[in-house]
Amino acid sequence: MENIERKINELRETLRYHSDRYYNDDAPEIEDYEYDQMMRELKKLEEQYPEYDTPDSPTKKVGGKADNTFASVEHTVRMESLQDAFSTDEIREFDRRVHESENCVQYVVEPKIDGLSVSLEYVDGVFTRGSTRGDGDVGEDVSGNLRVIRNVPLKLNKSLPYIEVRGEVYMPKKSFERVVDRQLLNDEKPFKNPRNAAAGSLRQKDSSVTATRGLDIFVFNIQQVEGVTLNSHKESLDFLKELGFNTVPNYVRVDSIDRAIDEVNAIGESRGKLEFDIDGAVIKVDDFAQRDRLGSTAKYPKWAVAFKYPPEEKQTKLIDIEIAVGRTGVLTPTAVLESVHLAGTTVSRATLHNQDFIDEKGINIGDIVTVRKAGDIIPEVVCVNEHRSDGTFRFPEYCPSCGSKVVRVKDEAAIRCINPECPAQLLRNLIHFCSRDAMDIEGLGPAIIETFVDKGLISKTFDIYDLDYDAIAELDGFKETSANNIRVSVEKSKDNDLSKLIFALGIRNIGAKAGKLLSDHFKTMEALMNASVEDILEIDGFGQTMAESVVNYFSANEAKELIEKLSSFGVNMKSKTEIKDNRFEGMTFVLTGTLPTMKRSEASKLVEAYGGKTSSSVSKKTTYVLAGEEAGSKLDKANALGITVIDENEFLEMLK
């Protein structure tokens, strides 16, 4: 019995961890199917050994929780999750339980959208509040972000005193691909799947960011309503359409569980062709009076069940392994397969992630492998069924794109090409180089840079300073004025401080703040290029990884050539920071809130001009917190730690 109790506790701990990663961090580590199977195992053990059942078990909880980033919203009507079924036998068992108390039951079958569940509230036909499900009882107020989603109506077609509806915010597959491309260009960790992309986008503090993500919504339920009487689920969905909501698509009312199963199978067969992700199909009792009599358990309504499609797997032959160089320099292996039909589409390529994954599975060219679609989007190799060759596949030592030697950074799974002029990374590097915090070349945005690369006007970073402006003026959409504006901006960037150039180079692990520290410490690009790891470690705030990244970058001949070319075009290679005196030497300032007469960036420069440094976070090492209006959590933390808080007047007095 001790083994049983230990097993139950281990399952609970594992499920809580993965639930938190999925619902609250938007960063799942396992597939939904694996999570569902663990939950089923725990539920069976609790039923078999009720003495170990507890009210706080994951089997009793809805997955998420309210995040303190947003205001909390208590749901008047609980936002329940659904009981899962994984076979037709379990669907028939659900039907049997329904018919224990109800006769002449009709069901509505609809696809189960894989996104983030939300509530929308309307007063007199006007959108007033929107919130996430959270734990079912308490969610987060995300009204501002919901307002920028295209299919969230801000005013209904009919005015009702009050209505609350439930829907699923999702990211269409095409939007997901665009977001991931943008993340890779910006050297950000890409979202794993559309569901997590939708959740992460809806929880943005800045709704203008949410607006760029291409989110959409399907509404599938009325939680509560005043001013109209509705008797069935299908009637309510039809009514939601009349109000102007984008309702869950392809819902069908059927008269028997056999017809319901047929519809579930039909939805499953079509899911590969849909423009959005689904992770199952839902069967709901249609009649509201019957629903009321059936009621709910502590976690699930008894009048609905969600059939989860198992991940479809097929065996095929691995013909070849191709290595592509991504826009961040990461070498990515792709399996070339004998074509196989999987989840409604033909699959001939699959991800192999990285060298560690290949080593773990023992994968090599010629092997017979099992392939499945992760989240119905990206095919992946699951395992090797039959080895048809010796050993495992090894990554090349040199970049397939530019021939430079590749490196594997300590504590990273990725193998990278660090050549700043690698053709495969050119577009991403150029966009970063011209961005506001880097060289700030106004007029050279991502779309224009891409056009110049396509037209052959830029093939190396330093080509920015040798542009053919006559050729630019002749391009469609460009006039002489536009070309001259770009020329002025390019010339202006030559005079930037050395810190902006260091950041613009895109050295891994070196952000704008680190670039400023390097610039202030070494004063010239030449001194920085000749610095050792030990020299860089003398800078407060630099660790081994950052120091090694700098040294590795400048050790490449391509980096040396880039600096030489930029210098020949007149780009500044010296720090412009002037230390007026050292009154703030050894002091760290944190700036927060809105100052009365100056921008925080201006105050930051003043701190540095007098020998001090600024930080973005409050810690025990902080000397002063310079706080303005709406200072927020940083001010609270400073007070908790006993850090001296000053206002703008006190700061200006310190400068006299």
Q: For residues 452 and 433, what is the distance between their CA atoms, to the nearest angstrom?
A: 15
Given a cut of 50, whether residue 7 has pLDDT beyond it is: yes
Token code pair at residue 88:
């037709």
The secondary structure of the chain in percent helix, strand, coil, rounded to multiples of 5, reads: 40, 20, 40
Instruction: For residue 245, give both structure tokens.
Output: 């909501």
Do residues 339 and 346 touch, judged by C-beta distance below 8 A? Answer: yes
Instruction: Name residues whose C-beta falls within 8 Å of residue 60's C-beta, 6 or more positions apart in sequence.
Output: 298, 299
- Quick one: pLDDT at residue 374? 61
For the ranges 191-205, 421-435, 523-537, 604-618, the maximum mean pLDDT occurs at 523-537
pLDDT greater than 70 at residue 559: yes
Tens of pLDDT, residues 366-406: 999 999 876 556 788 989 999 988 889 999 999 998 999 99
SS3 of residue 530 by DSSP: coil
Residues 81, 308: Cα–Cα separation, whole Å: 13
Mean pLDDT (whole number) for 424-431: 86
Instruction: Give mean pLDDT, residues 630-638.
Output: 84
Greater pLDDT, 219 or 586: 219
CB of 475 within 8 A of CB of 455? yes
Q: For residues 247, 248, 251 and 257, what is the CA-based torsion angle, rounded to 10 degrees? A: -130
Partners of 84 in beta bridges: 306
Sign of CA dihedral 68, 69, 72, 78: negative
pLDDT for the residue 621: 86
What are 242-252's pLDDT values in tens digits? Answer: 999 999 999 99
Mean pLDDT: which of 3-17, 83-97, 170-184, 186-200 is highest? 83-97
50-82 confidence digits (pLDDT tens): 877 777 677 766 555 544 468 899 999 999 989
Beta bridge partners of 320: 336
In tens, the pLDDT along 497-529 reads: 999 999 999 898 898 889 988 998 899 999 999
Give catalytic residues, as residue numbers: 112
Question: In the predicted model, is pLDDT for residue 24 greater than 60?
Answer: no
220-253: burial string, b at 16+ Cβ within 10 Å, e else:
bbbbebeeeeeebbbbbbebbeebebbbbeebeb
Among 218, 219, 217, 197, which residue's Cα sits nearest to residue 209?
A: 197
Percent of the chain with pLDDT over 70: 94
SS3 319: strand
Radius of gyration for the alpha carbons in the chain, expressed in angstroms and rounded: 29
CB 113 within 8 A of CB 166: no
Helices 426-434 and 446-454, packing angle to 10 deg: 140
Tell me the average pLDDT of the chain.
Answer: 88
| 561 CB-side CA count, 13 A | 11
- Alpha carbon of 325 to those of 108, 235, 399: distances in Å? 48, 53, 8
Check residues 268 and 254 and name the one with the higher pLDDT: 254
pTM of the model as a whole: 0.62
- How far, CA to CA in Å, does 4 sit from each of 17, 35, 38, 45, 120? 20, 19, 15, 8, 43
pLDDT higher than threshold 70 for residue 568: yes
The CA-CA-CA angle for residues 67, 68, 69, to 5°, reads 90
Tell me which residue has tokens 């590795």. 552
| C-alpha dist (Å) from residue 67 to 17, 73, 74, 503 | 16, 11, 13, 33
Backbone dihedral angles phi then psi of residue 280, each to the nearest 5 degrees: 170, -165
Given a cut of 50, is residue 289 above it in pLDDT?
A: yes
Distance from C-alpha of 374 to C-alpha of 311, rounded to nearest angstrom? 7
- Determine the length of the chain: 656
- The DSSP line for 271-289 is GGG-SS-EEEEEEEE-BHH
pLDDT of residue 480: 78
Q: What is the pLDDT of residues 441-495, one digit of tens each?
A: 999 988 899 899 989 999 999 999 999 999 999 888 887 788 899 999 999 999 9
| Lowest-confidence pick of 39-53, 69-83, 193-207, 570-584 | 39-53
